[in-house]
Each structure stands twice: as C-alpha cells, then as structure tokens.
Structure 1
Amino acid sequence: MKVIDKLAWLEIQGGKVLSTRSKGRTKYYIPGGKREAGESDLEALAREIREELNVDLVEDTIRFAGVFQAQADSHPHGIQVRMTCYEAGFKGTISPSAEIGEVVWLTYRDRSLVSPVDQLIFDWLKKKKQIH
C-alpha cells in the first residue's frame, strides 16, 4: 500500500475549521502539504501555510493534534494519505495565495465537501466538540 505523507494546520474559530480549495479542484482541504527534503514537520508546515495563506505560524504555539489516514482523494484505490495535524497560533491576515482558489470556514454540516481524510478529522473535531 502506498501512503502519501502530509501535514495539516487545524485552525478553528467559532466552531468552524479553516479549509481551502485549490484552483481547479472541487473538494476543500485543511491547509498544509508535503515536506521537502530535510524539513522537519514544523518547518514544512510553517512553509506550506506561508505559501498558501500568507500568514506565519507562531512557533512556540505549535502543538501536535493527531494523525489520520484514509483513501487519498483523486488517486487510485489503495493509495492512502496520512495526515499529521498540528494546531498553532498565527500572525498576519489569512489571504489565499495564487494556488488557492478559495478560503472558507466549514462546519460539520459541510463534511461531504472535504476529502476522505479530512472527513475523519471533522468527525474527530465534532466528537471533541470543537466544531459545530
């Protein structure tokens, strides 16, 4: 089984989770991405969030939240994505970069609009009463 290893930033405000939609895609994704060679989780996550949303994560607030794995969206059956999630404060104003088509705040009712691994994360956040 092939596993795509990714990182994600969980930003929750008012019972809603921050999500993005890349240009040309239909599903929403929790922001984040893949490591580049030699990067730690925190270095990669900070870089990806800066590239996607034009904000800086506050390093001393970054904390591990959980790991989730499911079928990778838009990939052949059997290819999984493993999402390692972190929570963190940030500096700046969230605004989409050139690759991001839309930034939204989603509730549990929007679960069908996100990728399979994000659906697991939504379930976990709902169980913890962090999203409505």
Structure 2
Amino acid sequence: MDTTSGEVDMMKLQTLDSVGWISYVRNRLLVVRTKGRDAFYLPGGKLEPGESPEEAIIREVREELGLRLLSSTLAHFATVSAPAHARPGVQLSMQCFTGAADGVPQVGGEIAEMEWVSKGQSDLCAPAVQEVLRLLPDLLISEE
C-alpha cells in the first residue's frame, strides 16, 4: 500500500481566510483579545457564506467593538499570511482594511479586552498581527 500521497495530504496546511480592521493612531494599533485566548488579534474574523470581505469587516467590527465602519472609506491595506495562533497546521490569510468608524470602541460579544499596542509589544499579538505591525509606518507625532 502506497502511503506517500496520504502523507503529503496530511502535510498540506489548511488555510483560514479572514479579515481584519486596522486602526493605527499615534504609533499604536487597536487590537482585541477574545475570551479564552492568550494573544491579541485585529478586530475582524471569518467571512460568512456569500459575504464580501468588506461586508465581513463591517459586520465583525460592529459585533466586536460596537463601531459602524463607513463603507465609503474602506481601503485594502494588505493581505498577510501567517500561522494561525493556537491552531497547529492552519495558515491564516487575512485581508486587512483601513477605514473610518463612527463611535467609540467598546468591548462586546466574544471580546475579553481591547488594547492599543506599539510595535515593541508585538509579542502580545498573534502571528498575523505581528506581520501587520511590521508593515505599519512609524507615524510622526506632533508635540501639542
């Protein structure tokens, strides 16, 4: 019996497609930690069947933070790929969007906490968020 093809199939990584929202202010990135997890993620999540990435990010941010993203301001920032946190053998592909939001972020639903992290705090974040932090510029902050 030839098991080579079966072994190759087992070695293939499963890919999980998701979306994430980037709110980057004063060199800090808004991240959330879901209940039962030990790392921070971007606000966002998986797409529902038939949902576009833009529809998914609007829905996810509303559910997680109570914010209304303004669809006319959404812009694709990057798609990052990294090992999925706490899911061995799974690769995460995350489409990241920027965009303006109405309201003040509030922890909701499955979210345990939110935080504004700097690049120096990337060790608190899931691998995909670490990739995003590497891509973000160091913004000039005016002294007021």
Question: 1:123 is matched with which residue?
Answer: 134
Distance 1:131 1:82 in 2: 30
- Determine the C-alpha separation between the residues in 2 that align with 1:67 and 1:114: 17
What is the alpha-carbon distance in structure 2 between the residues aligned to residue 13 and residue 86 of structure 1? 15
Residue 19 (structure 1) aligned with residue 19 (structure 2): no
Shift of 1:131: 9.1
The answer to whether structure 1 residue 50 and structure 2 residue 62 are counterparts is yes
SS at match of 1:51: helix
Find the aligned partners of 2:140 and 2:21 in 1 and give their Cα distance. 15
After superposition, what is the alpha-carbon deviation per residue over 1:18-63, rounded to whole angstroms, capped at 9, x for unaligned?
Answer: 0001111110111100110111111111000000000100111100
Does the alignment pair 1:89 with 2:103?
no
How has the CA–CA distance of structure 1 residues 79 and 23 changed in structure 2, closer, same or farther, with 3 Å as cutoff? same
After TM superposition, the score normalised by the length of structure 1 is: 0.93
Does 2:114 correspond to 1:103?
Answer: yes
Tell me: CA distance 1:86–1:122, structure 2 relative to 1, closer, same or farther (3 Å).
same
Which residue of structure 1 aligns with residue 78 of structure 2? 66
Alpha-carbon separation, structure 1, partners of 2:59 and 2:47: 9
Q: Could you tell me the TM-score, scaled by structure 2's length?
A: 0.85
Q: Given the superposition, is the C-alpha separation of residues 92 and 2 from structure 1 closer, same or farther in structure 2, using an over 3 Å criterion?
A: same
In structure 1, stretches of 5+ residues that fail to align are none
Which of residues 11, 25, 35 is equivalent to 2:47? 35
The number of residue pairs the alignment matches comes to: 129
Largest Rg, 1 or 2: 2
Q: CA RMSD in A?
A: 1.5
Given that 1:70 and 1:116 are in contact with CA atoms closer than 8 Å, whether structure 2 keeps it comes out as yes
Amino acid at match of 1:4: L
Show structure 2 runs of 5+ residues with no match: 1-12
What SS class does the counterpart of residue 73 from structure 1 fall into? Answer: coil
Question: Quick one: percent identity of the two aligned structures?
Answer: 33
